[in-house]
Amino acid sequence: MSGSAVTATARAPSRRRPPPVATVRWGLVIGSVLLLEAAARIGMIDPLIMPPPSTMVVRLGEIVAGGGFLTDLTTTAAAVLSAFGLGAVGGLLIGILFWRLPFVGATFEPYLVSLYSMPTLVFYPILLALLGLGPAPIIVIATTMAMIPVALNTMVGLNSISPTLPKLARSLNCSRTQTYLKVLAPAATPLVVPGLVLGFIYAMIGVIAMEFILASEGLGFRIGYTYRAFEMQDMYAYIVFVFVIAVAANVALNAIERRVRRDME
Amino acid sequence: MLPTASSAPGQPETAGDRDGRLGVRLADVGVVYDTKDGDSVEAVRSASGHIADGRFVSLIGPSGCGKSTLLDVVGGLLAPRSGTVTIDGEPVTGPRRDTAMVFQEDSTLHWRTVLSNVAFGLEIAGVGRKQREAAAGDIVALVGLTGFEHRHPRELSGGMKQRVAIARALVADPRILLMDEPFGALDQQTRMFMGRELLRVWDETRKSVVFVTHDIQEAVYLSDEVWVMSARPSEFTAKVVVDLDRPRGPGTMSSRRFHDLTSQVWEVLRVESEKALDAQRELEP
């Protein structure tokens, strides 16, 4: 029985450890939701400003079941996916170009970086004038926003490859295609993927924000519309939906990113 | 009295003779390379020498003397500005199947397992999966990585990663191994241990080895010959033949002869290193 005694003593200190971070995190979320619920129910929060969370969820259920929701959802999803797709391809190409031609990279990188810190959304009047009302200006702005982190991360990822790897590839007589596909691309991936993750998030932010001002359907438009119509319950229902989608996307993308980055030392 | 044809005077050298065509031959090799700023640097002025088949030769010299550059030329990664490098009489025009390189920096592919890293060269050469993995498995065992076949480089120590690099170089069964300070990034103890391991592997495979290092003891301990390079633009200032018995072991380093040889190398190297330092000082304002 000495074996079990040893295990018992070995385990003892772990009981005194603070609760796992995940528990605290979830506790905070659940706690704040409950707090809001209580505050709204006892009248501490004006239901016109914010209904109780349970009402938001119930209302969301009704909206999802009713017509029109699917149109908004597919409109927004289509815009996000096309902006991300275009931004990813464009960003990868720009990143590769800036890496292959260091002079071009050094010249244009500051522009890209300043575009990064700039609220691209301010260009919407110009785009509106150029492209007219419709999905085009939304997608252009969201694409630009998605492209920048992809381009920068791709460039940094390729530039940070140790010069030994291309040298190795040459010493093994790798063809150009083999060098790109079997050495350079996988070596840069741990930095390219976080760029793609950011690009996706930016595409989502860009589309929804632009829909507020430039659209006649879509989730962003619907939030703005319900706000102006004083349909607070509907507005919050849509906000809850967008929030849940964004968090879910973030969790999924982070999981992918962690998996890829694990390979990096 | 046993008269043999090859030792008879006036006989022409037979092809494949130990000091004939076989092996690596450098003839007046000069290397100039362009820097990023547009300057050209004369790295190697005139290097000549013959590395006979199966010999272990170390190149040693002051920092920045062009040892690695010269190795790149032998490996076909860099064309010499003047002179020629031939392997078994054929001029080197690019990377060859019968030479393999090991680099100082970690060159493992971090997304691949040890086995797949070792098999990489064969994969590039178009060898089928079964065949290349069988070959890689044998070499993994030879370099002492059995049990780590399916690990990734991030799970390995620096020394183990260099074993992977050595295994990758050996797997295509090259005749000539070009090693560019392969243990330079390792700590002293690992380094000495890896040197011993390399000799064990070399003993089993008998490749020709060109080994770049700046560690005198390592050079003398491992090599048949130590070629000392001058400060840049470099040439060989001395070639020290290491006549220590093989197999070498822990006793080798404490022997009288080992000390004599290392001091002999150091005497030449010291002069060249001072020249290199003086040249550096002149460059500074």
* Nearest-5° Cα angle at B100, B64 to B159: 70
In a domain, A191, yes or no: yes
Tally of domains in chain A: 1
- What is each CA distance from A1 to A4, A7, B16, B188, in whole angstroms? 6, 10, 74, 47
In a domain, A34, yes or no: no
* Confidence at residue A10, expressed as pLDDT on a 0 to 100 scale: 46
CATH 3.40.50.300 intervals, chain B: 47-98+174-280
> How sure is the predictor about A263, in pLDDT bands with cuts at 50, 70 and 90?
low
- Secondary structure letter of residue A56 according to DSSP: H
Residue owning tokens 């241990």: B193
Q: Which residues of B touch A263 (CB under 8 A)?
A: 110-111, 152, 154
pLDDT at B17 over 70: no
State whether A265 and B154 contact (CB < 8 Å).
Answer: yes
pLDDT at A26 over 60: yes
Which residues 196-255 in chain A show a CB within 8 A of chain B? none
* Confidence at residue B277, expressed as pLDDT on a 0 to 100 scale: 84
Decide if A189 touches B, using CB distance below 8 A.
yes
Residues A218 and A229: beta-carbon distance below 8 Å: no
Greater pLDDT, A178 or B8: A178
Residue A242 corresponds to which tokens in the numbers above? 């967008």
Q: Which residues of B touch A258 (CB under 8 A)?
A: none
Decide if B259 touches A, using CB distance below 8 A.
no
**A143-152, B61-70, B174-183: lowest mean pLDDT where?**
B61-70
State whether A172 and B111 contact (CB < 8 Å).
Answer: no
Distance, in Å, from the CA atom of B183 to the CA atom of B187, rounded to the nearest integer, reads 8
Per this entry, what is the length of chain B?
285
Decide if B210 touches A, using CB distance below 8 A.
no
pLDDT at B69 over 50: yes
pLDDT tens profile A140-151: 999 999 999 999
* Confidence at residue B218, expressed as pLDDT on a 0 to 100 scale: 95
Which residues 70-129 in chain B show a CB within 8 A of chain A? 75-77, 94-95, 97, 100-101, 103, 105-107, 109-111, 120-121, 123-125
Q: What is chain B's alpha carbon radius of gyration, rounded to the nearest angstrom?
A: 20
pLDDT at A8 over 50: no
In a domain, A25, yes or no: no
Superfamily of domain B47-98+174-280: P-loop containing nucleotide triphosphate hydrolases (3.40.50.300)
The complex's ipTM?
0.87
- What is each CA distance from A254 to A155, A187, A264, in whole angstroms? 21, 19, 15
Q: Residue A50: which of A40, A42, A60 has the closest Cα?
A: A40
> How sure is the predictor about B51, in pLDDT bands with cuts at 50, 70 and 90?
very high
> How sure is the predictor about B163, in pLDDT bands with cuts at 50, 70 and 90?
very high
Residues A115 and A144: beta-carbon distance below 8 Å: yes
Q: What is chain A's alpha carbon radius of gyration, rounded to the nearest angstrom?
A: 24
Decide if A46 touches B, using CB distance below 8 A.
no
Q: Residue B69: which of B269, B234, B219 has the closest Cα?
A: B234
Residue A221's domain comprises: 60-261
* Confidence at residue B273, expressed as pLDDT on a 0 to 100 scale: 86
Q: How far is B251 from chain A (nearest CA, A)?
A: 36
In a domain, A184, yes or no: yes
* Confidence at residue B231, expressed as pLDDT on a 0 to 100 scale: 86
Mean confidence (pLDDT) of chain A = 88
* Confidence at residue A7, expressed as pLDDT on a 0 to 100 scale: 43
* Confidence at residue B9, expressed as pLDDT on a 0 to 100 scale: 37
pLDDT at B4 over 70: no
Mean confidence (pLDDT) of chain B = 89
pLDDT at A157 over 60: yes
* Confidence at residue B1, expressed as pLDDT on a 0 to 100 scale: 38
Of B76, B106, B110, the CB nearest to A263: B110
pLDDT tens profile B84-120: 999 999 999 999 999 999 999 999 999 999 999 999 9
Of A165, A171, A187, the CB nearest to B101: A171
* Confidence at residue B136, expressed as pLDDT on a 0 to 100 scale: 96
* Confidence at residue A34, expressed as pLDDT on a 0 to 100 scale: 94
Residues A251 and A178: beta-carbon distance below 8 Å: no
In a domain, A4, yes or no: no
pLDDT at B170 over 90: yes
State whether A265 and B109 contact (CB < 8 Å).
Answer: no
Decide if A183 touches B, using CB distance below 8 A.
yes
Q: Which residues of B touch A172 (CB under 8 A)?
A: 95, 120-121, 124-125
Residue B279 corresponds to which tokens in the numbers above? 């040249």
> How sure is the predictor about A5, in pLDDT bands with cuts at 50, 70 and 90?
very low
pLDDT at B284 over 60: yes
In a domain, A31, yes or no: no
Percent of chain A whose predicted confidence (pLDDT) is above 90 = 63
The residue-averaged pLDDT of B246-265 equals 93
> How sure is the predictor about A258, in pLDDT bands with cuts at 50, 70 and 90?
confident
Q: Residue B156: which of B127, B186, B179, B188 has the closest Cα?
A: B186
State whether A168 and B107 contact (CB < 8 Å).
Answer: yes
Q: Which residues of B touch A168 (CB under 8 A)?
A: 101, 103, 107
Greater pLDDT, A68 or B72: B72
pLDDT tens profile A63-88: 999 888 999 999 999 999 999 999 99
- Amino acid type, B95: P
**A22-31, A128-137, B25-34: lowest mean pLDDT where?**
A128-137
pLDDT at A174 over 50: yes
CATH number (domain holding residue A130): 1.10.3720.10
